[in-house]
Structure 1
Amino acid sequence: MLDSAFDLGEHLELRKLSYNLSNVLWSKWDINEFDLSFGNWQKTKYLNDTNDGLNINISTIPSDRGGLYLFYLNCKTIIGITEMPLYIGRAQFSEHQNLKKRVKEYFLKYSRNDERPKITKMFKYWSADLYLAYYVLNQNEDVVSIEKKLINSLLLPMNDEIPDQETRQAIKAF
C-alpha cells in the first residue's frame, strides 16, 4: 500500500480535516421544531462497490420532495462511533429541483472536476467510505432555514459558505 513513513505521512496530511467543536454554536441555533436525530434520517452508501457509479439505493430517494442531505464517512473500526459528517446541503422542491436530483448532482457534476475543490477532495480520498443521509421536509422554507442553522452550528469541513455573518467573521479573524 504505502512504501515508507514519508508516503504514509503524505497520505495522512492530504486527508487532514479540521472540525470546530463548539457547544456554544450547537445551542445557539434552535432547531427543536423537528426531530433531527440521526436515527430519523434515511441512510445509504453513496457509491457502488467499485466507486464508479451511484449506489442502487440512491434510486429510492424521493423525487417529489425537498429536504436536507448529509455526506458522511462511515469508518468500520468502532461501529456507531466513527461516523464523521463532512457536508450538509439542501434541496428545495420545485419544477427543476428535488432531493434525488440534487444528491445525484454531486457525483455527476462535482466528483471529478475542480469546480468545488472540497467536494472533489471528498470523492477522491473517501469515496469507498462515503455515505449519504437525507431528511425529507415538506416545506421549502423549512429546508432553507434548517440547513442554515445546521451549517452555522456544525461548521462541517466541506461546507464553504457560513450563512451567519458573526460566525463567518469570527472564523476569518482566527
Structure 2
Amino acid sequence: MEVSAFDLGSEINKKKVFYRLHQPLWNVDLEGIDISEGRWRTIKYLNEDGSRLNDLLADVPNDTGGLYLFKIHCPMIPGISEYPVYIGRVQFTAHQNLRKRIREYYSDDRPKINRMIETWGNELYLSFLPLDGNERIVDLEEKLINSLLLPFNDKIPSKEISAAIKAFQE
C-alpha cells in the first residue's frame, strides 16, 4: 500500500511517545516484594479487532488488589520488544478489586489514557500482579512510578522528581 511521506509522518508523529530513562532512579528498595517477570500475568487488553475488552479479562482476580502495567507489544522480535507505558494500582475494598479497576480503563475519560487505548488498542497488553496489603500496594506503585517515569503516568508521587522534570520540560 502506497502512503505519502506526509501521511506517514503524520501517523508517526501521532504515535510519538517520550520516555525519560534515568538509571539511578531504578535503584529502589522494594522491601522484599518479588515483582519478577514470572509473577506477572499478561493478556491482550482488547479483543482481536480492538472493538471491545478481551474476554480473558474475566480471568483477572476480583478478590484482591494489586498492580497492573499497560504495555505496547511489537511482534517483530517476540518476547523482547515491549514498551511499558503506564503503571497503576488498585487497593482491595468492598467496592474495588483488580479486575474491576482494569476494566474501568476502557471507559476512562483522562486524555492520556484515551490516547493510549485508541492509538495502540490492537497492540496494547496488560500485565497484572495480584498483591495483598493495601498500604504495600500504594507504596510499591509510588516507588515504581518514581523509578520508571512512564509516559502515560501523569502524576509523579515524588515532589522532588516531579519538580526536576517540570524545570526541564520543553
Superposition TM-score tier, normalisation by shorter sequence:
over 0.9
Q: Map of 1:146-165 to 2, 5 A cutoff?
A: 146-165=140-159
4+ residue runs over 6 A deviation: none
List alignment gaps of at least 5 residues for structure 1. none
Counterpart of 1:34? 33
Inter-CA distance 103–2: structure 2 relative to 1 (3 Å threshold): farther
1:17 is aligned to 17
Mapped pair 1:166 → 2:167: no
For 1:45-82, what per-residue CA distance to the aligned partner results, in whole angstroms no more than 9, with x for missing partners? 01111211111110011111000000001110111221
Aligned to 1:131: 125
Unpaired runs of 5+ residues, structure 2, are: none
Deviations 1:92-135 (A, max 9, x none): 0001100000000001x22xxxx311111111110001000000
Q: 1:140, 1:2 → 2: CA distance?
A: 52
- Kindly tell me: are residues 10 and 2 of structure 1, through their superposed partners in 2, closer, same or farther at Cα, counting changes over 3 Å? farther
The 2-side partners of 1:70 and 1:158 are apart by 11
The equivalent residue for 2:87 is: 88
The SS at the match of 1:48 is: coil
Q: How far is the alpha carbon of 1:39 from its aligned partner?
A: 2.3
Normalising by structure 2, what TM-score? 0.95
**1:46 correspondence with 2:45:** yes
Cα distance in 2 for partners of 1:139, 1:147 equals: 12
Distance 1:2 1:145 in 2: 50
Normalising by structure 1, report the TM-score. Answer: 0.93
Q: 1:2, 1:8 within 8 Å by CA — same for their partners in 2? A: no
- What corresponds to 1:8 in structure 2? 8
Q: Distance in 1 between matches of 2:122 and 2:95?
A: 30
Aligned partner letter, 2:40:
W
For residues 134 and 2 of structure 1, the distance between their equivalents in structure 2, rounded to whole angstroms, comes to 39
Q: Which moved more, 1:31-40 or 1:8-17?
A: 31-40
Give the aligned length: 168
Could you report, residue by residue, the CA deviation over 1:19-53 in whole angstroms, capped at 9, with x for unpaired residues?
Answer: 111111101x2114112112210110011112111
Instruction: Please report the RMSD computed on the Cα atoms of aligned residues, expressed in angstroms.
Output: 1.1
Counterpart Cα distance in 2 of 1:73 and 1:16: 12
